[in-house]
Amino acid sequence: MIDIDKWQEIFHTLRHNKLRTFLTAFGVFWGIFMLVIMLGAGTGLENAVYSNMGDFAKNSMFIWAQKTTMPYKGFPRNRWYQFTYDDLHSLKRNIPEIDIIAPTVNGGGFRSSTLIVNGIRKGSFEVFGKVQEEDLIDPVDIEYGRFLNEFDLREKRKVVVLGYRAYEELFAKGEDPTNKFVRINGIYFQVIGAFKSKHTGRWGENQNSEVYIPFSTAQQVYNYADKVDHFSIVVKPQYQVVDIEPKVMAILAKNHNLHPDDKGAFGYNNVGEEFKKMNGLFLGIRGLIWIVGIGTLLAGIIGVSNIMLIIIRERTSEFGIKRAIGATPWKVITTVISESLFLTILAGNAGLMFGVFIIEMVNKALQNSDGEMFQNPEVDFSLAITALCVIIFSGLLAGLIPSKRAVSIKPIEAIRTEN
């Protein structure tokens, strides 16, 4: 049963020293509030970074040709060379760890725009020759029609998939572009689809300004023969990209008469390693947040404990009288701990709710932004439960030491003590 007298005594004590009660509770309130805010901010930063990556294949890498940096077999340094479609077959044949490999050519050259015309509407966009596997490496949201398929490549069809910004400039709002024709480099292409990037920020904006045509068609239109600008490679889940990377370079070096140690002859981006670094970074951030948050909370708890020690000293005679008329040490201990727990849980829950409220307000304010650096700050339910457990444990800890002090004094000595 609830001991009404004990709780009346606790409320009377807290009301009797309002300023001291407020300042004591504020320390706990601020500690849990800052913990929640920092956790929410850390999650917002993490969400923004991963949202910017979209559904990009994490266990992947890109590699492209650069000028050689070392002479080899009579060839000078600073020699230009190009990847070819034969390299794709060579990589697949010799590296069974590869799951997906997709070649790409840049229409018109690196970062070159091509004029695309639809009647009186026109715009300049980057044109890429892609294969159907591209949608497995860097998936997009199809708004109209479909993505490229193997028949488009096999038959070298003159078809195109438009990025959403390209679609908006070339067609009226809400108009279905599929099965209509646009001119690329003076050649008519049938529009088979329009897509939106899953990336946010600048990455998403850039991808929405791209248009994709079949890889085989691009080779013909731009007279690239079997040239490949770069390969996108995804390795099987049981392998790491970092282990496959040297094998890829070794095969390409052999195919193009490059020095085996000439790593500068390749431009590459190991996405798998980047993801590992980001995961490690955010793990460190979360750990730091918990250390700082718990430290701040402990400072508040120490304040509660110190105040409880002062209260014990002020009420020593009272506790002595209670002990003399039959109160057990456990009853005194539970009274002190209950007071500490009540104050800590009340202040902690207030800090928790206010922190969640602030995060929700920030989240609503950010809903119309692009979310490039900060997106959807939130506090996981399990983390909220963890924070609540920390509050309860801290309240017990803050009341336990003073309560031990209260029962360590003999009743007769406590009665004689003057406040």
Examine residue 93 and state whether it is found in any structural domain, yes or no: yes
**pLDDT over threshold 50, residue 334:** yes
- Give the per-residue pLDDT at 327: 59
- Residues 239 and 353 reside in one and the same domain: no
Is pLDDT at 314 greater than 60 in this prediction? no
Whether residue 186 sits in one domain with residue 233: yes
pLDDT at 344: 76
* 365 lies in the same domain as 282: yes
Average pLDDT over residues 140-156: 93
Mean pLDDT in residue range 168-184:
93
What is the pLDDT confidence band of residue 249, given thresholds at 50, 70 and 90? very high
Residues 97 and 219 in one domain: yes
Comparing 97-106, 192-201, 251-260, the range with the smallest average pLDDT is 192-201
Give the model's pLDDT for residue 347: 79
Residue 240 maps to a domain? yes
Same-domain pairing of 314 and 347:
yes
In a domain, 106, yes or no: yes
d(CA 175, CA 49): 33
**Best mean pLDDT range from 95-99, 196-200, 283-287:** 95-99
Between 39 and 190, the higher pLDDT residue: 190
Please indicate, yes or no, whether residues 245 and 328 belong to a single structural domain of this protein: no
Question: With 50 as the cut, is the pLDDT of residue 1 above it?
Answer: no
Number of domains in the chain: 2
Considering the domain architecture, whether residues 34 and 87 belong to the same structural domain is answered as no
| % pLDDT > 70, the chain | 72
In a domain, 63, yes or no: no
Q: What is the mean pLDDT of the chain?
A: 80
Which of 194, 223, 255 marks a domain boundary? 255
pLDDT over 70 at 234, yes or no: yes
Domain boundary among 225, 255, 285: 255
Does 68 fall in a domain?
Answer: no
Last residue of a domain, one of 222, 255, 288: 255
Share of the chain above pLDDT 90, in %: 32
Does pLDDT of 22 surpass 80? Answer: no
pLDDT-based confidence at 164, cuts 50/70/90? Answer: very high
pLDDT band, residue 12 (cuts 50/70/90): low
Residue 363 sits in the same domain as residue 231: no
Q: Which residue has the higher pLDDT, 126 or 403?
A: 126
Contact 299, 26 (CB under 8 A): no
pTM here?
0.67
pLDDT greater than 90 at residue 191 = yes
192 and 116 in a single domain? The answer is: yes
Q: How confident is the model at residue 74 (pLDDT cuts 50, 70, 90)?
A: confident
> Could you report the per-residue pLDDT of 196-233, keeping only the tens digit for each?
998 877 878 889 999 999 999 998 888 888 899 999 99
Q: Which tops the pLDDT comparison, 29 or 187?
A: 187
Instruction: Count CA atoms within 13 Å of residue 370 on its CB side.
Output: 11
> Do 290 and 356 belong together in one domain?
yes
pLDDT of residue 75: 87
Q: What is the pLDDT of residue 230?
A: 92
Pair (183, 141) in one structural domain: yes
**Residue 62 included in any domain:** no
Highest mean pLDDT among 135-139, 200-204, 402-406: 135-139
The whole domain housing 118 covers: 82-255
Do 298 and 384 lie in one domain? The reply is yes
